[in-house]
């Protein structure tokens, strides 16, 4: 189904619906939006920063947990967005059978809601780090937001493709969380590439998530504020992901009703 202007006008309402479903109770919902990632940050910070004595790269004077926080929130937004987007069609099977709505919007709204909520939590964490004396390069924030926008696009393409495949391959629902956890540990979030051997560091270059994580840290921790060729690479990767994901979705979606 083609997405004309009328259909796109429904997207804000769908995003608000997704957010309300996540935050049924306004007070506790917004609280856990920040508390849950903070608890996860505390666990990783303790295990890797205290037990395994992980350290930040040379030249950065900050606690390991602060260095970790700057990269952890973008990953949480990306990974949760992909997982929720991949489940959007199955979760709205009854809606699809009753309402003539472009199915792509269900995936887009699910992932958009996740990114918006995590972005709010991310801003809270960055302000908290600054208040605790951690030097955040705020001049790099506009570029960081552009980088995160391309990360959203990259995840959206994956979500569209996986949402279509999951209608036919239900086992993906069990496999994807494990795969995302594996991808997490293969991305330099808990460790710096400089601490790895040359061979392992070279392998990380082929992990696309590494590009975004390193660029976010460059903007918010190293003061990078002018866009360069790397932003173009990220934008092209995001565009390619959305194009391929949309192509796969359009190819498989006509037969959804037969499998839902």
What residue ranges do the domains of the chain occupy? 5-259
CB atoms within 10 A of CB 60: 16
Smallest Cα–Cα separation from 11: which of 122, 112, 152, 98? 112
| Global confidence as pTM | 0.91
pLDDT for 71 equals 95
Smallest Cα–Cα separation from 15: which of 98, 101, 117? 117
**Which tens digits make up the pLDDT trace of 156-204?**
999 999 999 999 999 999 999 999 999 999 999 998 888 888 888 888 8
Q: Is the confidence at residue 236, as pLDDT, over 80?
A: yes
pLDDT for 30 equals 61
CB atoms within 10 A of CB 103: 22
Q: Where are the alpha helices (DSSP H) in the chain?
A: 5-8, 11-22, 26-44, 64-91, 93-98, 103-131, 141-168, 172-185, 198-204, 208-220, 229-252, 256-259
CA distance 223 to 227: 12
Q: Is the confidence at residue 3, as pLDDT, over 60?
A: no
pLDDT for 36 equals 75
Q: Where are the alpha helices (DSSP H) in 169-207?
A: 172-185, 198-204
CA distance 121 to 69: 11
Average pLDDT across the chain, whole number: 88
pLDDT for 46 equals 87
132 within 8 A of 103, measured Cβ to Cβ: no
pLDDT for 25 equals 52
pLDDT for 5 equals 60
Cα distances (Å, whole numbers) of residue 221 to 112, 158, 169, 233: 26, 28, 41, 21
CB proximity list for 15: less than 8 A, separation 6 or greater: 109, 112, 113, 116
CA 125 to chain centre: 16
Smallest Cα–Cα separation from 58: which of 49, 70, 67, 46? 67
**Which tens digits make up the pLDDT trace of 93-147?**
877 777 777 889 999 999 999 999 899 889 988 988 898 888 899 999 999 999 9
CA distance 130 to 151: 24
31 within 8 A of 132, measured Cβ to Cβ: no
């Amino acid at each position: 189904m083609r997405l004309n202007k009328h259909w796109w006008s429904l997207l804000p309402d769908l995003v608000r619906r997704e957010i309300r479903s996540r935050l049924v109770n306004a007070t506790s919902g917004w609280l856990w939006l920040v508390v849950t990632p903070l608890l996860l940050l505390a666990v990783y910070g303790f295990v890797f920063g205290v037990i395994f004595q992980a350290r930040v790269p040379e030249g950065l004077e900050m606690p390991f947990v602060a260095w970790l926080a700057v990269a952890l929130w973008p990953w949480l937004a990306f990974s949760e967005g992909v997982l929720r987007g991949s489940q959007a069609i199955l979760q709205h099977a009854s809606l699809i059978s009753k309402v003539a709505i472009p199915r792509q919007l269900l995936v887009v709204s699910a992932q958009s809601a996740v990114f918006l909520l995590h972005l709010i939590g991310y801003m809270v964490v960055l302000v908290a780090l600054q208040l605790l004396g951690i030097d955040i390069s705020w001049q790099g924030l506009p570029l960081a937001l552009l980088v995160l926008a391309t990360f959203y696009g990259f995840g959206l393409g994956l979500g569209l493709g996986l949402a279509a495949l999951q209608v036919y391959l239900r086992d993906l629902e069990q496999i994807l969380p494990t795969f995302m956890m594996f991808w997490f540990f293969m991305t330099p979030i808990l460790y710096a590439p400089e601490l790895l051997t040359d061979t392992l560091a070279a392998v990380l270059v082929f992990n696309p998530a590494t590009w975004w994580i390193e660029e976010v840290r460059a903007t918010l921790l190293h003061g990078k504020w002018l866009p360069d060729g790397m932003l173009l690479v990220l934008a092209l990767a995001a565009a390619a992901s959305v194009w391929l994901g949309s192509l796969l979705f359009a190819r498989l979606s006509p037969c959804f009703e037969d499998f839902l």
